[in-house]
Amino acid sequence: MAYDPDNIFAKILRGEIPCKKVFEGDHVLAFHDIEPQAPTHLLVVPKGQYVSMDDFTANASNAEIVALFRAVGDLARQAGVAETGYRIIANGGPHARQDVPHLHIHILGGRDLGRMLPPAP
Ligand code: AMP
Query: Which one-letter amino acid corresponds to residue 45?
Result: V
Distance 99 CA to ligand 1 centre (A): 7
Query: Which one-letter amino acid corresponds to residue 59?
Result: N
Give the span between the Cα atoms of 39 and 111, in whole angstroms: 7
Q: Is residue 117 part of a domain?
A: no
Give the span between the Cα atoms of 99 and 69, in whole angstroms: 21
Q: Is residue 115 part of a domain?
A: no
What integer pLDDT is reported at residue 104 of this predicted model? 98
What integer pLDDT is reported at residue 86 of this predicted model? 98
What integer pLDDT is reported at residue 119 of this predicted model? 83
CATH number at residue 53: 3.30.428.10
* 34-68 pLDDT per residue, tens: 999 999 999 999 999 999 999 999 999 999 999 99
What integer pLDDT is reported at residue 70 of this predicted model? 98
Query: Which one-letter amino acid corresponds to residue 39?
Result: P
Q: Are 28 and 46 in contact (CB under 8 A)?
A: yes
49 in contact with ligand 1, CB cutoff 6 A: no
Domain limits for position 73: 8-109
19 in contact with ligand 1, CB cutoff 6 A: yes
Strand partners, 21: 31
Q: Band the pLDDT of 74: cuts 50, 70, 90.
A: very high
